[in-house]
Amino acid sequence: MESMLLYSIDLFGTAIFAISGVLLAGRLKMDPFGVAVLGSVTAIGGGTIRDMALGATPVFWITDTNYLWVILLTCLATMIIIRRPKRLPWWILPVCDAIGLAAFVGIGVDKAMSYQDSALVAIIMGVITGCGGGIIRDVLAREIPMVLRGEVYATACIVGGVFQTTALAMGHDSNTAFLAGVFATLFIRLGAIRWHWSLPTFAINR
């Protein structure tokens, strides 16, 4: 995939994830600093953990501050726009989130494979890239992370990572493998949104 297109998708996903952090901060009535913190950790938390785990230093947003500017401007714009009475259709944010998630997983897998050869590690790094920020966000907000509550979210990331690494193992080029993983993640996540797919939960009866 062309590097500029991939970079644009990455920044788009960063903005969408930041919005989800801002919305949660708004529900919790946080001050502007709290909004910025929650938006930031949601947007770049997963990628930061991935880079630290892979030893990819300095972390990506230190060498490219465009990520930080996108987050700050997104947080500011969301705080202003969200106060207006007109509301967006309910599906806009989940669908955009699914696109950002799919891109993040593909980027995470691709970057992990450039640092080592284990497909399993690459899949884990893809899941961390896609879900890590949301987990940090929910922990800071004292909520059970969405990925641990039966939501088909991390599962979509895992399947996408499997598709991508399998395509690489079959000899396809990195661009084709990336697209295979992204579309697999996106298809499953959009299906979960549309048809309310969920995983069975584990409970112990006392």
Q: What are the pLDDT digits (tens) for 136-182?
A: 999 999 988 888 887 899 999 999 999 999 999 999 999 999 999 99
Range of the domain at 176: 3-195
Residue-averaged pLDDT of the chain: 91
206 found inside a domain: no
201 found inside a domain: no
203 found inside a domain: no
99 found inside a domain: yes
- pLDDT category, 71, cuts 50, 70, 90? very high
H/E stretch holding 113 reads helix 92-115
Q: Of the candidates 119, 123, 137, 113, which has an alpha carbon nearest to the alpha carbon of residue 40? A: 137
Residue 1 has pLDDT above 60, yes or no: no
Q: Of the candidates 38, 106, 108, which has an alpha carbon nearest to the alpha carbon of residue 71? A: 38
Residue 41 has pLDDT above 60, yes or no: yes
Structure confidence at residue 84 (pLDDT): 61
Taking the C-alpha atoms of residue 53 and residue 138, their distance in angstroms, rounded to an integer, is 21
Count of domains for the chain: 1
7 found inside a domain: yes
- pLDDT category, 2, cuts 50, 70, 90? low
H/E stretch holding 56 reads none
94 found inside a domain: yes
Residue 199 has pLDDT above 70, yes or no: yes
- Quote the Cα angle for 141-145-150, to 5°: 150
- Quote the Cα angle for 181-8-76, to 5°: 120
Structure confidence at residue 203 (pLDDT): 76
Percent of the chain exceeding pLDDT 70 equals 96
95 found inside a domain: yes
121 found inside a domain: yes
Each residue's pLDDT tens digit, 90-123:
788 888 889 989 999 999 999 999 999 999 999 9
